[in-house]
Structure 1
Amino acid sequence: MKLIVIGGTGRIGSQVVQKLTAAGHEAVPAAPSTGVDLITGKGLDQALQGADVVVNVANSPTFDEASLEFFRSSMTNLLAAGDRAGVGHQVILSIVGVDQVPQLDYYRAKALQEDLLRQGPTPYSIVRATQFFEFMDAVLSWTSDGDTVRLPATPIQPMAGADVVDAVVKVATGAPLRGIWNVAGPDVFRLDELGRVTLAAHDDSRTVVTDDTAGMFAAVPGDVLIAGPDAHLAPTHYRDWLQKAH
């Protein structure tokens, strides 16, 4: 099977390419560095030639309002090019609860990407994952001030990037779902609690203060970032991952 991985040189995409290749598939990364521009469409037709599946894990360079135009243009161009190339399956990586947080520009942009895919001409699959373990350091940095990190008590169910990769590979090599597959980590935390666990593992002396107005996730209502009962639970626990990572 020939699979084109859009964003195939990034954190998740490069691992998806490696896993697919190891499983005996022809996996080809497509990114600006390989001559593919999702926004102008340059290089897309050549990249998709002979492809059975397109796996789209490309991300917007920003999380603000500009992300809406990124996902609108990139998804529209990718669907049109895929249709011309006779691609039989389009897969995207999205976020659990993405359609329930319209107050966040980035979540609204990802929800738009999903809608465009659903309305497109090609059988599709949407893999919705929870927040990645790997992003926790960035989350801490957004609201850090000297010795204090302010975090809301938002419930989250984070998962390892490697487990996200496994989920994407599984879906990409199967029949189109024509729907959503939710994947999540095995444990639910409050974000402020997760911050304390992370700082302790780093031997970081900063203090986490619970502040329900702090950072991007303060805008998230209730438990929308928690996967529902139908979700596939990934095997890696955060505390185990932290021990291995450090």
Structure 2
Amino acid sequence: MADDYPRIEPAGSLTMAGANRIWTHPQFLVADVCKITGTTPKALEHFVSPKRGLVRLIGAHVNPGTGRRRIFSGGQVLMIAAAYTMSRIGFPQRYVRTLAEDVERRAHFRGLPGGNLQTGMKIATYPMNEGDDWVVTRLFKEMGQEPVLPVAVHLLDVDRLIDQVKAQLEAMIADEEVPDFTVPDPEPEPSPYSPASNFYREWEKSDKGRWIYVGLSEEETEELLAMQGSEIQGDDLVIVGEGRGESERFLELIEKHERELLRRGGMDMEGDE
């Protein structure tokens, strides 16, 4: 990573005293790490490998040798969570280690007196225009003027991750139910090309109540769908096979359909004037 990577320097010595003990005291097993981070035991081996690991974990309790259980501190669990989270969204693995270490420093920094002067920390990362380095920019709620960022970045909500991991670690220590902060996948929306959505207004009902392409008859619609390897099931457009390619007849039906769409669009625009 670039030499001017923004480090988060702690104010004072990091010790096992006070609130930071949860980050420094080894007490979490592989199963705990997997539960919190979402990784698997096999993937965790890759993350903590002394030679090729994505995070640098110091301590004999992490790599104790054959036949002995690995034990992790809360800070190490946090580092793995940050590394796994960023790796899943495509952040370069060669830079994950440095980013994970900065996330752990932030957790220690927040636990010290006067260490939480800026809140809502996020890290925005994106590739530089030239070379292989990545730009890493810290964002805080208190920033008077946010830096100019590209339209697309990798964004890690650092303080939110720290709070979530801390809550999960505390629940494990107290032998309570571990909170699940997984964001559920959104319900799939209908394809914009299907009658259910009809986003492009390509469909209408025939006199018999069947979905047809605008400008085409029922027979022509079935013919075009077959050429596309599709069929209508209820209100959904479903792929059922491979298309037949763009034959002369295919292009003829597409042109007829699109010509009617354009004609109707023109009529709508005239009506709005």
Does TM-score exceed 0.5, indicating one fold?
no
Q: Which one has more relative contact order, counting CA pairs under 8 Å at least 6 apart? A: 1
TM range (shorter): under 0.3
Q: Provide the TM-score with structure 2 as the length reference.
A: 0.25
Q: Which has the higher strand share?
A: 1
Q: Provide the TM-score with structure 1 as the length reference.
A: 0.27
